[in-house]
Amino acid sequence: MTRKERISYSKEQVRDIIKRVWLYVLIVVGIGAAIHNWIPQSIVEKVVGSNNPFAVLLATAIGIPMYAYIFGTLPIAKAYGRVLSPEEIKKYL
């Protein structure tokens, strides 16, 4: 392949990937925004706080979408930062 053909092929692949994942990106960013802005701190503390025996399982379930998109991780981790220590956040991420 020539350089021009490789560039053209690369552009096609990027477009294809964006078409396939854009909706998932919006969903994960929306989840992060919801946790950060609309869910009260007291609810997050009850769900993933140290007094809940299922906290690790719930935090794992909440954290699964974060692996799909790194920028979705940041707002969710920031929201967790209001109620969890940095060490606990690292465990869940």
pLDDT digits 0-9 by tens, 34-71: 777 787 878 877 777 777 788 888 777 766 665 655 66
C-beta of residue 41 within 8 angstroms of C-beta of residue 82? yes
Q: Residue 44 in contact with residue 79, Cβ under 8 Å?
A: yes
What rounded mean pLDDT belongs to the chain?
Answer: 77
Residue 8, pLDDT score: 94
10 in any annotated domain: no
Q: What is the mean pLDDT of residues 28-39?
A: 77
**Does 78 reside within a domain?**
yes
Closest CA to 39 of 93, 78, 86, 90: 78
- Asked whether residue 52 is assigned to any structural domain, the reply reads yes
The pTM (predicted TM-score) of the whole model is 0.43
pLDDT at 9: 93
- Say how many domains are in the chain: 1
For the chain, the maximum distance between any two Cα atoms, rounded to a whole number of angstroms, is 61
The verdict on residue 58 lying in a domain is yes
For residues 46 and 88, the answer to whether their CB atoms sit within 8 Å is: no
